[in-house]
Every structure is written in C-alpha cells, then in structure tokens.
Amino acid sequence: MSSSQDPYQQGRTGYTPRQLPPLPEQPAPFGLPGEPPRQRNRRKLWIILGSLGGVLLLVILGVVILVNVVGSATNQARGLADDFTRKVIAGDTSRAYDEYLDPALQKQLSKEAFISGVKSLEMDSSCQPAYNDLKVSTENGIKSAEVVGQISCTGKKVDLAYRFEGKDKPLMTNIKLRPAA
C-alpha cells in the first residue's frame, strides 16, 4: 500500500480526523443549561418551624406559670401550718387561737377549751411537725388548704389535721390535734 492510499497518513491534505457525533446534552440538575440554579423557596418551612417554636414557647410558659401558682399556694399553706404549729408547741396557744382560727371556728371552740386541750397534749421543745399530705385549691377566689401530718415529740406523737380557707390570708376552719393511736 502506498502512502497515498493510507487514509490514516498524517499530513495528508484534506484529511479530517474522524469525529464522534456530539453527546446529547444532559439537563442541568437545577434548570436549563446556562441558567443559574434557582433559589429554593423555604418560606413554608420557616413558617412551620416558627409556628411550632411559638406553640412550644407558649406551652413552656404555661407550665412555668402553673408550677409557680400551685407552688405558691402550697408554700403559703405549709407556712400557715408551720407558724400555727410552732406557736402551739411553744405554748403560745392564746396567740395561735387569735391569729389563725376563723371566727366561725372560734364560736364552736372557746379559747379556754382550745388552750386546755393543747396543754393536755404535753408538747415540749423536742416536738417537730411533719406533714404527710397537703392539698390546696382555689375556687371563686377562695383559697383552701388541707394539711395532714404528725407532731413527733420525745416518746410520743400527735396527729394533726388542719383546714384553712379564705381570700387573702386563709384562716383555720377545722382542726384536729390528738395523741396518735
């Protein structure tokens, strides 16, 4: 074969190398070729996330307020019971009667009967109150609290049960102080 017959001979005039057909263009992943990628619209996502965050914030705020309100009422009831019991243990029964008993209870229980009943329990400085159950509630602006427990003294125990009711400073509407069985 001569060089004039070799189709692959280099330097041959009029020679065009064999070209492959062009590959079909693949569409760009974000739109047409040459077009800048589109911004994803995340407005709906932010609206949903913002709404969920707002609802979560309101729930947390509600729980915190509820805990504070209930905790405050419970602490007030515990404080009333502690103050009253400490006065009774210390022998300041006349003052405890005047400051903590509701007038309706004072009509049912005379001051002399209250003082003699507390003296008969023979409580001294070794006595310490412990509350087993404390229930508080508020209805129509009137707070109520029921306190149940024991006063432990050296060699004896005294059962206690108090009920306080009122608007601003609840007063005792029911009392039980008796030696434990």
Q: Does an H or E element contain 64, and which? A: helix 43-90
87 DSSP assignment = H
Cβ-contact 39, 95 below 8 angstroms: no
Lookup: tokens for 116: 């003699």
C-alpha 6/C-alpha 49 separation (Å) is: 73
More confidently predicted of 132 and 11: 132
**pTM of the predicted model over 0.95:** no
Tens-place pLDDT, residues 36-80: 666 777 888 889 999 999 999 999 888 887 776 656 667 778 888
State the CB neighbour count (10 A cutoff) for residue 118.
19
CA dist., res. 82 & res. 160, Å (int): 12
Tens of pLDDT along 92-127?
999 999 999 999 999 999 999 999 999 999 898 899
Fold of 43-179: Nuclear Transport Factor 2; Chain: A, (3.10.450)
Instruction: Choose among 112, 104, 101: nearest CA to 175.
Output: 101
Q: How many C-beta atoms surround the C-beta of residue 81 within 10 A?
A: 23
Hey, where are the domains in the chain? 43-179
pLDDT digits (tens, 9 = 90+) for 14-23: 556 677 777 6
Greatest Cα pair distance in the chain? 144
Phi, psi of 104 (to 5 degrees): -65, -40
Do the Cβ atoms of 163 and 174 come closer than 8 Å? yes
The proportion of the chain whose per-residue pLDDT surpasses 70, expressed as a percent, equals: 75
Q: Residues 159-176: what's their mean pLDDT?
A: 90
